[in-house]
Chains A and B, each alone.
Chain A
Amino acid sequence: MNLLLLFISAAIVNNFVLTYFLGICPFVGVSKKVSSAVSMGLAVMFVMTITAAVTWLIYHLLLVPYHIEILEYVSFILVIASLVQLVEMFIKKVSKPLYDTLGIFLPLITTNCAILGLALFSVLREYSFVESLVFGIGAGAGFTLALVIMAGIREELELSNIPKPFRGAGITMIVAGSLALAFMGFAGLISM
């Protein structure tokens, strides 16, 4: 039950994109088409889940016993960068069109602060291994959710007559802000 609450908290109530405002770059950059948003979301979710597990292991089995917690940033980034490389190779192998669609945003997952944020949060909140794994999956699901909602709205916007000054970045920011406002409605649902 506790784990389920943790999952919902990470995915919806404390959504990384719309509540913490982490990972805004791919949120704006890859949310033009629902299909690529889904793929991007899944890629991030994969990286987040594995990161959560591996960083937990590194932190508790390497950094804590040797008292070198100061190196958490370095080692976490190392994990994230390697994982992103792996995902990039995998996507390039499996689907070249998808690789082209995601473009620069795929390697940029490395610097996506949502993922480093996730690793640091789970250290800060002293999650157990299973908890941080669930936290990772939840955060990834939340990221995918935000991206897909945004992409759905932007696909509809393509067909609507937006006043000229608002076109492009302007309307995207407005939509992102409204979404964040909507997600604020979940605040207080669960307090974790």
Chain B
Amino acid sequence: MDINTLIIAIASMGGLGLIFSAGLSLAEKKFYVEEDHRIAKILDELPGANCGGCGYPGCAKFADVVVAGEAEINGCPVSDDEAKKAIGEILGVDVDSGEKQIARLMCQGGDYETAKKAEYAGIKSCLGASIFGGGEKMCEYSCLGFGECVEACSFNAMYMSDNGLPVIIDDNCTGCGKCAEVCPQNIIEMHPESHKLFVFCKNLDGAKTARKVCTKACIACGICVRNVEEGEMIMEDNLAIVNYDTFGKEAKLPTDKCPTDCLAIIGPPAVDKPTEKVEA
């Protein structure tokens, strides 16, 4: 190949490129679409993780709908207060930044606490196990322990403990709600940071069954409900429920008599200490 071919090649392709780009820039002028400059600004303030925690496909779409007024300004659960304020400023609105949400695991039935009804040898996924006979634990409401939530977390805020339960690292949790979404048992709940008192159980069985399947199940004894003011806690479907509108924001137990310790204060991650092992 001689040098001429090279020159012709460069010149022809460069020329073609020039012609097309000139044509395109003319077309750009003709087909120019006025885009709201606020969308780009808001996009700059968003985390850019495209986690989908806001319910839209990504940060760009969220910016779009916020400007259109179809989404709450503080609708991004991952943004910190400063970013939310900045978005408010761009739109000229005051923002009540909303409280930070944190994922909470509503189950303490790890490998030590819950008896197993069978050995599950199928696909190692919570969804798989929940479809196939509801997992290996006796408690049908419990954490299945395959860590699908941990895999779903894009912020390194979860890990599996030795006890086979996911542990949430409060500092890393952004409240995007991905883990709660993937959990087939619906035992991960999103709670505001100020909620301190929890009933860490979702078991709706009666006392006898609940006791048999897990050492830390709510057995619906009602001792907590009797120890608080009317309406602060209620007993529903064999499960104690905290009414956070009036109660549960103080780090104080209403009673230390909860026989199964499923009523507890959220604190540092539970130590992976074996408690009493139940026999199946």
List A residues at the B interface (Cβ < 8 Å). Answer: 58, 62-63, 66-68, 71, 74-75, 78-79, 82, 85-86, 89-90, 92-93, 96
8 A-B pairs with the lowest CB-CB distances in the bound complex, closest first:
A82-B20, A89-B31, A93-B31, A66-B8, A68-B9, A86-B27, A92-B33, A85-B24
Closest approach, in angstroms, between the C-beta of A42 and any C-beta of chain B? 17
A-B contact pairs, 30 of them (CB 8 A): A58-B16, A62-B16, A63-B12, A66-B8, A67-B5, A68-B5, A68-B8, A68-B9, A71-B13, A75-B13, A78-B17, A78-B20, A79-B16, A82-B20, A82-B21, A85-B24, A85-B27, A86-B23, A86-B24, A86-B27, A89-B27, A89-B28, A89-B31, A90-B27, A90-B31, A92-B31, A92-B33, A93-B31, A93-B32, A93-B33
Please encode chain B, from 25 to 53, with 1 for each CB lying within 8 Å of some chain A CB and 0 for all others: 00110011100000000000000000000
Chain B residue with the shortest CB-CB distance to A66: B8
Closest approach, in angstroms, between the C-beta of B65 and any C-beta of chain A? 11
Interface band, chain B: 10 to 19
Closest approach, in angstroms, between the C-beta of A79 and any C-beta of chain B? 7
CA–CA, A79 and B17, complex, Å:
9
Residues of B within 8 A of A58 (CB): 16
CA–CA, A40 and B5, complex, Å:
39
Chain B residue with the shortest CB-CB distance to A96: B33
CA–CA, A62 and B12, complex, Å:
8
- Can you name 11 extra interface pairs (CB under 8 A) apart from A62-B16, A67-B5, A90-B31? A58-B16, A68-B8, A68-B12, A71-B9, A75-B12, A78-B13, A78-B20, A82-B21, A82-B23, A82-B24, A89-B28
Residues of A within 8 A of B33 (CB): 92-93, 96
CA–CA, A96 and B68, complex, Å:
14
Interchain CB contact under 8 A, A74 and B13: yes
CA–CA, A85 and B23, complex, Å:
11
- The residue among A75, A89, A90, A96 with the most chain B CB atoms within 10 A of its own CB is A89
Residues of A within 8 A of B12 (CB): 62-63, 66, 68, 71, 75
Chain B residue with the shortest CB-CB distance to A63: B12
Closest approach, in angstroms, between the C-beta of B9 and any C-beta of chain A? 5
Residues of B within 8 A of A68 (CB): 5, 8-9, 12
CA–CA, A82 and B33, complex, Å:
18
CA–CA, A190 and B20, complex, Å:
37
Interchain CB contact under 8 A, B20 and A79: yes
CA–CA, A79 and B13, complex, Å:
11
Residues of A within 8 A of B5 (CB): 67-68
CA–CA, A47 and B21, complex, Å:
17
CA–CA, A64 and B88, complex, Å:
60
Closest approach, in angstroms, between the C-beta of A70 and any C-beta of chain B? 8
Chain B residue with the shortest CB-CB distance to A86: B27
Closest approach, in angstroms, between the C-beta of B160 and any C-beta of chain A? 28
CA–CA, A82 and B9, complex, Å:
19
CA–CA, A92 and B32, complex, Å:
9
Chain A residue with the shortest CB-CB distance to B32: A93
Closest approach, in angstroms, between the C-beta of A125 and any C-beta of chain B? 23
